[in-house]
Amino acid sequence: MKRLAGKAALVTGGACGIGRAIVERFAAEGAHVAIADIDTAAASNLEAELGGAAFHVRLDVTRDADWGGAIDELERRHGPLAVLVNNAGINVPGSIADAREEDWRRVHEVNGLGPFLGCQHAVRRMRASGGAIVNVASVRGQRPSSGQVAYCSSKALVLNLTESVALYCGEQNLPIRCNAICPGVVDTPLLRSGFAALGGEDEALLRLSGLQVMNRIGTPEEIAAAAVFLASDEASFVTGAAFNIDGGFRIRDQ
Ligand SMILES: NC(=O)c1ccc[n+]([C@@H]2O[C@H](COP(=O)([O-])OP(=O)(O)OC[C@H]3O[C@@H](n4cnc5c(N)ncnc54)[C@H](O)[C@@H]3O)[C@@H](O)[C@H]2O)c1
């Protein structure tokens, strides 16, 4: 039996990196997946590769109207929204000394307002038929670095939001679970875009690998495995959790 058989799922930032791996695993596990992204070209390419198990829809997570339209489209095709993965995220480096206000606002819009709107829409839609929300936070929400003040605080927000949503659903007796994943360093285009600033690929991989107890960086597929579990009925007694898939990053002396 496939672990997500027949479930209608929406994955934000699903065209690339961790989101793409989640879309691929969800499709392989029998879900009907909406690849919800601002990069419609990449999303449409992935749709073609998956041949019918997924479709793409343009969604900017910071725009409330986009959310309604994207979920309407998914529900029209495949029935009630059963799984939402709030994965889309951006990082603009900067410390408290040099981060620009506009960068702080943008990072918090995508990484904070985006999941807030997603959870709000999901709770409204899942109220009767139930479902699972998976928020992709980061170990940086638990262990901040000085050089990414906006990113780290936005990910701490996601962890707190996850608990707040889980509490609300419990208090209201809603059949909705809400959990977070905290990845460590994962090999994606977002990560590789910063390699030049870290002295090139070899130097960057060495430095970033050393942040994990396991002395390597992770793969998007390793994060997707956790998303499948949290989205599936196997996680029926899990809510309000922060699931670290981080190769031991959180427990390592930095
Ligand atoms: N890569 C890592 O090391 C790492 C570690 C911890 C957490 N994360 C988190 O995992 C998530 C995915 O990261 P990634 O490395 O795969 O990133 P990525 O840049 O490789 O992919 C992000 C995707 O999100 C989309 N996106 C960006 N802004 C959007 C918006 N406003 N609306 C909809 N889609 C949007 C992009 O088009 C892209 O397809 C992010 O939330 C990130 O913070 C990544």
pLDDT tens digits along 215-243: 999 999 999 999 999 999 999 999 999 99
Q: With 90 as the cut, is the pLDDT of residue 254 above it? A: no
**Selecting from 1.20.1070.10, 3.40.50.300, 3.40.50.720, 3.20.20.70, what CATH number does the domain 8-183+221-243 have?**
3.40.50.720
- pLDDT for 196 equals 84
Ligand 1 center to residue 73 CA distance, Å?
23
Assess whether 168 carries a catalytic annotation.
Answer: no
Q: For all residues of the chain together, what is the average pLDDT?
A: 97
pLDDT (mean) for 192-221: 94
- pLDDT for 194 equals 83
> Which has the minimum average pLDDT: 67-81, 94-108, 130-144, 187-201?
187-201
Query: Which residues of the chain does CATH 3.40.50.720 include?
Result: 8-183+221-243
Distances (CA, A) of 254 to 23, 191, 196: 32, 19, 22
Which of the listed residues 11, 90, 245 should we mutate to test ligand 1's pocket, taking the one with most ligand atoms within 8 A of CB? 90
- Of the pLDDT bands very low, low, confident and very high (cuts 50, 70, 90), residue 107 is very high
Kindly tell me the burial class for residue 74, based on how many C-beta atoms sit within 10 Å of its own C-beta (0-12, 13-18, 19 or more).
buried
Percent of the chain scored above 90 by pLDDT? 95
Q: Is the CB of 157 under 6 A from ligand 1?
A: no
Residue nearest to atom 41 of ligand 1 (CA): 89
